[in-house]
Amino acid sequence: MIYFDHAATSFPKPPAVVARVAECLTECGGNAGRGAHRSAMRAAEALYECRAEAADLFGASSPERVVFTAGDTAALNMAIKGSVRPGDHVLISDLEHNAVFRPVHALAREGKITYDVFPTYAADPTASTDRILRGIEARIRPNTRLLVCTHASNVCSVVLPAREIGALCRRHHIRFVLDAAQSAGHLDVNLGQFRADAICVPGHKGLLGPQGVGLLILGEKTELKTLLEGGSGVRSLDAEMPPDPPERYEAGTLPLPAIVGLREGMRTVREIGIRGIREHEKQLWWRLAGQLKKMNGVRVMVPNAEGSVLSFCADGIPSEEMAAALDERGFCVRAGFHCAAIAHRTLGTPRGGAVRVSFGNENTTEEVDALTDAVRELLTEKRKFL
């Protein structure tokens, strides 16, 4: 099997991640904050170590500003729904995953907020940062409270200018929430440099951890309404959730095995080096893009946006059919609309959807060449019957 679906989840996990998860499951029986015995204390120490690792990696002011969630989608729901008030106006981009679009749309459908979509001009090779910023400013209203957008698309490798968007939001006193689902572990992501109020991160993609855990990185002054209430292990006599993070936002038992695995995943990323990962993925992207562009009837979506994700369409072959045929030949790719309908409308994807190839650091040029050969063979076979 040749795995090219890292944008969905990284695989295989590094040996250190697997070993740490196994060790936790077999040797740590405690629940952090729910006991004074040594096993509970070990659990608490493990949680803090992961918070400290994440705070350092993403530029949080302290480990306490790192909140564990069930994943990136949960973190985004917490950040979005915890930020807005009735009557607020929200801005999102035209490249959003449903993890951003659907919570915002649901709030609008319930009559709680209004929202607008600002253009990224992702399909326009002449697009510029200034043009994106002008599009945002043109849509700001007196009641605009929140801007939430992706850092890197999950459909193509377009990267939005997070630093400049954050600075614009700061000037207009708008809260800025960044979805780093496809950039964490692939690009430098820094809360302070981006002037973000919150960054939402999955643990199982570019950070190489297990599924089931994500991170909500909060700015030093960011406060949210709680989305969940329950036991937190502290101030148990109070009727309200604790006032301070992280416990304020962590109701219930945390997924300790996934969290310790995430810590090892982040350490692995740092050992390899994000810059090295990025350059390797760009080389693979250009190799695949260059070969696909030579094939008649094949369209590479956003053909100059290099990075960890490449999507393409083939005339006469629906994406699901192409992906199934590639699976039979041992390749794991993803087809369809990738939980990002708004992004596909922006990019003009055909009705049959697109095939997405997403790279990890372990992929090789030989694997890219093998995929290219397989696509070429499938196109030849299909066109014999057309």
Which superfamily does CATH assign the domain made up of 273-384 to? Aspartate Aminotransferase, domain 1 (3.90.1150.10)
pTM for the full predicted model = 0.96
> Rg of the chain's alpha carbons, rounded to an integer?
22
> Between 256-272 and 38-58, two packed helices, what is the crossing angle to 10 degrees?
40
**Residues 6+ positions from 50 with CB-CB distance below 8 Å:** 66, 68, 259, 260, 262, 263, 266
Task: Using CB atoms within 10 Å of the CB of residue 74, give its burial: 0 to 12 exposed, 13 to 18 middle, 19+ buried.
Answer: buried
pLDDT of 43-99, one tens digit each? 889 999 999 999 999 999 999 999 999 999 999 999 999 999 999 999 999 999 999
pLDDT in the model for residue 385: 57
CB 155 within 8 A of CB 95: yes
Which residues belong to CATH 3.40.640.10 in the chain? 15-271
Q: Classify domain 15-271 at the CATH topology level.
A: Aspartate Aminotransferase; domain 2 (3.40.640)
pLDDT tens per residue across all 386 residues of the chain: 999 999 999 999 999 999 999 999 998 877 887 777 888 888 889 999 999 999 999 999 999 999 999 999 999 999 999 999 999 999 999 999 999 999 999 999 999 999 999 999 999 988 899 999 999 999 999 999 999 999 999 999 999 999 999 999 999 999 999 999 999 999 999 999 999 999 999 999 999 999 999 999 999 999 999 999 998 888 888 889 899 999 999 999 999 999 999 999 999 999 999 999 999 999 999 999 999 999 999 999 999 999 999 999 999 899 999 999 999 999 999 999 999 999 999 999 999 999 999 999 999 999 999 999 999 999 998 776 55
**Residues 6+ positions from 195 with CB-CB distance below 8 Å:** 163, 166, 167, 169, 170, 176
Pairing of strands 214-218, 88-93: unpaired
CB 240 within 8 A of CB 321: no
Q: How many CB atoms lie within 10 A of CB 365?
A: 12
